[in-house]
Amino acid sequence: MNLQFIADGLIMGALIGLGAIGVTLTYSILRFANFAHGEFLAWGTYFTLALASGFGAMFGGSGTIGALSFGWPVIVAGMLAALLTGLLALVLDRLLFAKLRNRGNAIVMVMASFGASMALRSLLEFLFTAQPAYFSRDIQMAFPIAFGIRLTPDQLFLLAMTAILVLVMERFMALSPIGRAMRAVSENPVLARVSGVDVERVIRATWMIGGALACAAGVMLGITVQIRPFMGFDLLLPLFAAAILGGIGSVPGAVLGGLIVGVAEASAVQVVGADYRAAIAFLILIAVLLVRPAGIFGVRE
Amino acid sequence: MSQPILAIDGLAAGYEPDVPIVRGVSLAVKEGEIVTILGPNGAGKSTFIKAIAGLVPKFAGQVVLAGGDITKTPAHLLARQGLGFVPQTENVFTLMSIADNLRLAADILPKAQRAERIDAMLTLFPDLARQRQLLAGRLSGGQRQMLAVARALIAGPRILMLDEASAGLSPKLVGQVFAKLAEIRYTGITILMVEQNAKAALALADRAIILVEGKAAHQGKAADIASDPVIRQLYLGVAPAKGAA
């Protein structure tokens, strides 16, 4: 049996997991399901594409690093784009969610996020057209790893980046004052305020972090697959499945959930064919909600 | 006369402006005092103390802490201004360790003081020191209350406010918590506490204010109130002693 599908599933799962960190943090700290989160992936990727093209035009050349299909322009652009995506999330909060937060209920916020998602996606199509774009059109050679599994250098880079980002995030949440404050607000906002936590500041940090990680996930998706305005929206269901499977509020849970969803999707393709791939995240979501609504690491239902 | 550490003047507060729950209460708490807020259920005791802590909207009146007007100060800044508050329920972060509960509250202090203040709390509450990595959600009711008090004390408040610290505790644990409060008072911290357990509260406090329907029905020395059968029967739901009726 060829085990390649497991590797493919893990790579997709790592992407989903990275994106799901933002979903799980927004859900637990701002207490609503942000359906516009997928757009942060897409916007982050297009920010990166635009900046990287700009750098290429300014400094010339599109040199690559080692065996990777991309070079410093994409990496530097990606870091700037992560910041921009965080700011985009902040602006969206200021213009929309902050106004609804104090008077609306959760369902109003969710519906608003649906609207924001459509608007952001349409704007992206308007600016960049619906045509797929690529960071690089070079064909990358996959080389054998073990058990007949082959990976491209880009895919290995992606796995390593995900591991690093997740470890850094986990330590950040555990040890930094702002990470502690985020955990506190997620559990009990009133007690957090009494303890001196500025909840608005925590909310701003949540948007920045969620936006930046969404950008990272989007860029990696753009590198390994392609860039489309719908790339984030198409991942929305897997993102939520991963966040809920891992347990709302848990960073390691979101990533583990992402990996499970990714591998499950890839396995399903083997068994029932690619047509049903999209149904798998949905099935996982329903199963978790029925069997263990709190998720793997979750404490809340 | 020394200046009151906390001066509340004509405070009206509640959740809806047209339905104030607290209706014009004034109270002055002097430095080093223990003052208890008593009254029947629904009298507005909890709303009163939450309004001071910035958690319930105030509609009228003024709150002054150590000479500074805190009427409009947001809740998260009050801890920095010397006000520590222990809510009645959900007063610790159950998903965080004892150490993280304390660290979170210490984060508002300058970096150099944080470790020292956490150590001071662990010395004051040795039960917590023994299990600092334990999740607060695993603590027993009494220990949880101690952690809640430690969390509120860590930034070194001028005044400690507690909303029914004895709620849900066995008489023995109430005794322990109150003994700790007496110990804390001797370190110079003023205490303002809402209590349902009038007998225990009056034994600990210097003075008491009795709220009825959102207004101050009576204020006086705790000892006088404790020994006044009329007040006890009217407001505190304490039956007169046998044979007295």
Interval A61-107: pLDDT, tens:
667 777 787 888 888 899 999 999 999 999 999 999 988 987 767 88
B76 → closest Cβ in A177, A193, A299: A193
The share of chain A scoring above pLDDT 70, in percent, equals: 97
**For chain A, what's the residue count?**
301
pLDDT of residue B237: 67
pLDDT digits over A52-64, tens only?
888 877 776 667 7
Q: Are B93 and A187 an interchain contact pair (Cβ–Cβ within 8 Å)?
A: yes
Tell me which residues of chain A, numbers 146 to 185, contact chain B at a CB-CB cutoff of 8 Å. Answer: 177, 180-181, 183-184
Of A180, A190, A299, the CB nearest to B104: A180
* DSSP-assigned letters across all residues of chain A: --THHHHHHHHHHHHHHHHHHHHHHHHHHT-S--TTHHHHHHHHHHHHHHHHHHHHHHH------TTSS--HHHHHHHHHHHHHHHHHHHHHIIIIIHHHHTTS-HHHHHHHHHHHHHHHHHHHHHHH-SS-B-S--PPPPPEEEETTEEE-HHHHHHHHHHHHHHHHHHHHHHHSHHHHHHHHHHH-HHHHHHTT--HHHHHHHHHHHHHHHHHHHHHHHHHHS-B-TTTTGGGHHHHHHHHHHH-TT-HHHHHHHHHHHHHHHHHHHHHH-GGGHHHHHHHHHHHHHHH-TT-SS----
C-alpha span between A47 and A54 (Å, rounded): 11
B96: amino acid identity, one letter: M
How does residue A145 score in pLDDT terms, banded at 50, 70 and 90? confident
* Model confidence band, residue B238 (pLDDT cutoffs 50, 70, 90): low
Closest-CA distance, A152 to chain B, in angstroms, reads 41
Tell me what the pLDDT averaged over chain A comes to. 89
CB–CB of A190 and B104 under 8 A?
A: no
Name which of A176, A180, A190, A191 to mutate to probe chain B: the one with the most chain B Cβ atoms within 10 A of its Cβ. Answer: A191
Q: H/E/C letters for each residue in A189-226?
A: HHHHHHCCCCHHHHHHHHHHHHHHHHHHHHHHHHHHCC
| Domains of chain A, start order | 4-291 (1.10.3470)
**Among A228, A203, A172, CA closest to A41:** A228
At B231, list the tokens: 């007040």
Sequence-ordered list of residues with C-beta below 8 angstroms from that of A127, at least 6 positions apart, any chain: A46
Residues of B in contact with A193 (CB under 8 A): 54-55, 74-76
- For A205-234, the pLDDT digits (tens) are 999 999 999 999 999 999 988 899 999 899
Beta-carbon pairs below 8 A across chains A and B? 66
Q: Select the residue from B104, B147, B151 to test the A interface by mutation, using most A Cβ atoms within 10 A.
A: B104
pLDDT digits (tens, 9 = 90+) for B136-177: 999 999 999 999 999 999 999 999 999 999 988 999 999 999
Measuring CA to CA, which residue among B52, B138, B53 is closest to residue B101? B138
Record the tokens describing residue B96, joined without a space.
């965080």
Facing residue for B93 by CB, picked from A177, A184, A196? A184
> How many alpha carbons lie under 13 Å from residue B106 in its C-beta half-sphere?
21
Per-residue confidence (pLDDT) for residue A142, from 0 to 100: 80
Of B85, B95, B100, the CB nearest to A194: B85
Q: Which residue of B has its CA nearest to A196?
A: B76
ipTM: 0.92
- The DSSP-derived string for A127-161 is HH-SS-B-S--PPPPPEEEETTEEE-HHHHHHHHH
Do the chains contact at B96 and A183, CB–CB below 8 Å?
Answer: yes
Distance from CA of A183 to the nearest CA of B (A): 8
- Residue B215 sits at the chain A interface (C-beta within 8 Å): no
Q: How wide is the angle at C-alpha A189 spanned by C-alphas A244 and A205, nearest 5°?
A: 70
pLDDT tens, residue by residue, A176-216: 999 999 999 999 999 999 999 999 999 999 999 999 999 99
| Nearest chain B residue to A181, by CA | B104
pLDDT bin (cut points 50, 70, 90) of residue A301 is very low
User: Residue A7: which residues within 8 A CB-CB, separation 6 or more?
Assistant: A145, A149, A150, A151, A155
- Cβ atoms of B153 and B105 within 8 Å: the answer is no
Structure tokens belonging to residue B126: 């040795």
CA atoms of A301 and A291, how far apart (whole Å):
11
B62 CA to centre of own chain: 19
| B95–A contact, CB cutoff 8 A | yes
Please, are residues B144 and B92 in contact by the beta-carbon 8 Å criterion?
Answer: yes
Collect all residues of chain A within an 8 Å Cβ-Cβ radius of residue B118: none
Put simply, whether A187 touches B (Cβ < 8 Å) is yes
Instruction: Give the residue on A whose Cα is nearest the Cα of B85.
Output: A194
- Quote the tokens at residue A74: 């994409």
